[in-house]
Amino acid sequence: MRFQQAIDRALWQIAVDLSNTMPGEVQFQRLVAAIGSVLPCDAVTLLHLDQGTLVPMASQGLAPDLMGRRFDPKAHPRLAAILASSDPVRFPADCDLPDPFDRLLASDPEHEMPVHACLGCSLHVDRELVGVLTLDALDQNAFARLEDSTVAAFAALAAATLRNVALIRALEQASERQRAIARDLMQEALRREGDLIGNSRSMRELRREIAMVAATDLAVLITGETGTGKELVARTVHAQSARSEQALVQVNCAALPESLAESELFGHRKGAFTGATADRAGKFELAHGGTLFLDEIGELPLGLQAKLLRALQQGEIQRVGADEVIRVDVRIIAATNRDLLHEVEAGRFRSDLYHRLRVYPIAVPPLREHREDLPVLAGYFVDAARHKLGIGRIDLHPQTLAALAAYDWPGNVRELEHLLLRASLKAAQRDPERVLLRPDDLALPAESVSAAVEPVPAGESVAGSAEAGASPLALPGGGLREAVDDYQRRLIAAALAECTNNWTQAARRLGLDRANLQRLARRLGI
C-alpha cells in the first residue's frame, strides 16, 4: 500500500511539473529523480531519439560523462529491442546482450560491476517514436514485483515531458508561420540541445544572450580566449536567427593577405589587377540575405577597416575595378581574441569601426570559469574520439576527471578536445579490449595530475599548512562551498590513490562509512 502511495505521489508530481514553466533540463532531471525515488533501481535514464541516435536528456545514478555520449541502437541491441516494442521490455539476468550502461553506475565508482537487471520502455508522442526510458539495477531481482502498467504510466509521462519541453522551445524560437509546423520544430529544438555543451550558470547565460540577440539583426562582437568556441557561438546565433535559411559566410581575417583582402570581401572585375581573369563576387555579395562572420577581426589591415566601415554604415559595396555600387543586406558577426579597446587606444583599430561592430557584445567564458561542465564535455569528446578512432567504448577513470578539473586549460575547450583524442589513442594502444583513460594518458603538467591523485601526508591539514606558513587555499569563484567541495574531492582522490582504489580502505583512512563515502563521492562528481 505504501509503495503504491509513493508511486501515486511521484506520478502526481510529474503531472504537476508538466503544467509549470521551468527550463527543459530542470524538468527532465526532476522527472528521472521522481522515478528513481520510488522504483527499485540504481539508475534511470531518459533518452531522446534524434535521427536514429539516442541522446541522453537526463539521468540519475549513472556516471556524469554519460550526458556527453550518444547511443546508436544498431550498436546496442538492448536499446534496439526496447525501441522495437510498444510494451516494457525486461532482460533476464543471464541475457547475453551487452548492456549499454555496464560499468557506468555511479554506485560503482570503480566501473567494474555489470548491470544485472535491465528494463526499458519506448516513448511515443502521437504514435511517433521519440525516445526511451531505461531502468537499471545491480540486484537481478529488483524488478520482479514491478508491474508493466506502472512502468508504462511513467513512460507515458516521460513522453509527455519530452513533448512539453520541445513545444515550449519551439514556440519561443519560431515565428507565426513556423508555429504551424510545431511537430518539426519540436524535433529541431531537441536537436539543438547539444550545440553548446554544458549546464553551468555561465553557459546558461551564454545561451540566453544568444537567443536574445539572434532574434534581431544587430551586429554582434564575440570576444574570448583562443579555443573557447567563438565560431560555434557565431554559428548558433545565425542558426537561431530569421536568416538561418540563408548563407552563413565566414571570413578568416587573419588569413587574408593585405593585397587581396579587398577583393575577398568586396569582389573584383575582370582585369582589375594582375590575375583577375574573370569577374568575381566577394564575401559580402555571397552573404546577401544571410550572415557574414568576420573571424579574427582584430587582424584586419588598418587600411581596409575604412572600407569595411562604409559597407556596414551604408549597406553598399564596390567591386575592385568597378564603378557601380551594389547594395547588400548582410548581418555582421565578428569575433576576436584580442582586446579591441586596447587596439583602438594603440591606434591599430579604428574607434568608429569598433563601436559599429560592438552593438551587442558576447563574451565567451574560458573553460576554467565553468569547470563544472568538464564531466559532460569530457563525455562528449571521448564519444567523438570513439567514432574517429573506431573504438567500441571509452571509459574515464574517476581520477582522470579529477586531473582534468585541476588543470587551468589555457587552450580552453579546443585543448580539452584534442587532449582527450590523444589520450584515447594512447589508452587504446595499451588495452584495446577495455579503453580506460587514466591520468597518465592525459600528458598534463605534473602538478595538475599530482593535485588530483597525490595523497595528503598523514597528519597534515589545511590549518596545519597555514600555521607552517604555506599559502592559504585560494577560494574559487563559487566561494566557501565550492572551496570545501574541491578540498573534499582532493582528499577522496588522495585516499583512493593511497589505498590503490580500494573504497573500503579509503573510507577507513578517512574515518567514514564506505556507503557514506560513495554517496559523498557521487555528489562531488567523482
Residue the block writes with cell 552563413: 248
d(CA 514, CA 239): 49
Question: Is residue 263 predicted with pLDDT exceeding 90?
Answer: no
User: Average pLDDT for residues 167-179, to the nearest whole number?
Assistant: 56
Q: Which of 96, 140, 97 is nearest to 115 (CA)?
A: 140
User: Average pLDDT for residues 143-147, to the nearest whole number?
Assistant: 88
Q: Is the dihedral of CA 352, 355, 357, 363 positive or negative?
A: positive
Q: Mind listing the pLDDT tens digit for each residue in 309-339? A: 988 988 888 898 888 888 999 999 999 999 9
Question: Is residue 176 predicted with pLDDT exceeding 80?
Answer: no
Instruction: State the pLDDT at residue 346.
Output: 92
Matching fold, domains 2-176 and 368-524: no
- The larger pLDDT score, comparing residue 290 to residue 467, is at 290
User: Average pLDDT for residues 66-76, to the nearest whole number?
Assistant: 91
Enumerate residues 6+ apart whose C-beta is below 8 A from 45: 32, 56, 58, 59, 60, 62, 66, 101, 132, 133, 134, 136
Question: Is residue 516 predicted with pLDDT exceeding 80?
Answer: no
Tell how strand 394-396 and strand 435-437 pair up: parallel
Q: CB atoms < 10 A from the CB of 394, how many?
A: 24
3-state SS record for 223-275: ECCCCCCHHHHHHHHHHCCCCCCCCEEEEEHHHCCHHHHHHHHHEECCCCCCC
28, 161 contact by CB (below 8 A)? yes
Instruction: State the pLDDT at residue 344.
Output: 94
- Mean pLDDT across the chain: 82
d(CA 102, CA 62): 10
Q: Measuring CA to CA, how many Å separate 242 from each of 193, 217, 335? A: 19, 9, 21
Write the single-letter amino acid at 453. V
181 DSSP 8-state letter: T
Q: What is the three-class DSSP state of 104? A: coil
Q: Of 66-70, 259-263, 294-298, 468-472, which has the strongest mean pLDDT?
A: 294-298
Is CATH 3.40.190.10 the right assignment for the domain spanning 2-176? Answer: no
Instruction: State the pLDDT at residue 519.
Output: 75
Q: Read off the pLDDT band of 459 (50, 70, 90).
A: very low
Show contacts of 424-428: CB within 8 Å, 24+ apart. 424/382, 424/385, 424/386, 424/389, 424/391, 424/394, 425/385, 425/389, 427/394, 428/389, 428/391, 428/394
What is the architecture of the domain spanning 368-524?
Answer: Orthogonal Bundle (1.10)
Instruction: State the pLDDT at residue 365.
Output: 95
Of 280-284, 307-311, 429-433, 478-482, where does mean pLDDT reach its minimum? Answer: 478-482
User: Average pLDDT for residues 382-399, to the nearest whole number?
Assistant: 89
Q: CB atoms < 10 A from the CB of 87, how many?
A: 12
β partners of residue 292: 249, 332
d(CA 46, CA 164): 14
User: Average pLDDT for residues 181-201, to the nearest whole number?
Assistant: 54
Cβ burial 110-143 (10 Å sphere, 16+ → b, else e)? ebeeebbbbbbbbbebeeeebbbbbbbbbeeebb
Enumerate residues 6+ apart whose C-beta is below 8 A from 384: 417, 421
Question: Is residue 308 predicted with pLDDT exceeding 50?
Answer: yes
Q: Read off the pLDDT band of 429 (50, 70, 90).
A: very high
d(CA 374, CA 415): 12
Question: Is residue 186 predicted with pLDDT exceeding 70?
Answer: no
Output the CATH code of domain 201-365: 3.40.50.300
d(CA 295, CA 331): 14
Domain residue limits, the chain: 2-176, 201-365, 368-524
User: Average pLDDT for residues 405-430, to the nearest whole number?
Assistant: 93
- The larger pLDDT score, comparing residue 245 to residue 220, is at 220
Residues of the chain by 3-state class (helix, strand, coil), percent to 5: 50, 15, 35
Q: Which of 112, 131, 56 is nearest to 375 (CA)?
A: 56
Instruction: State the pLDDT at residue 115.
Output: 66
Q: Mind listing the pLDDT tens digit for each residue in 334-383? A: 999 999 999 999 999 999 999 999 999 999 999 999 999 999 999 999 99
Give pTM, 2 decimals. Answer: 0.61
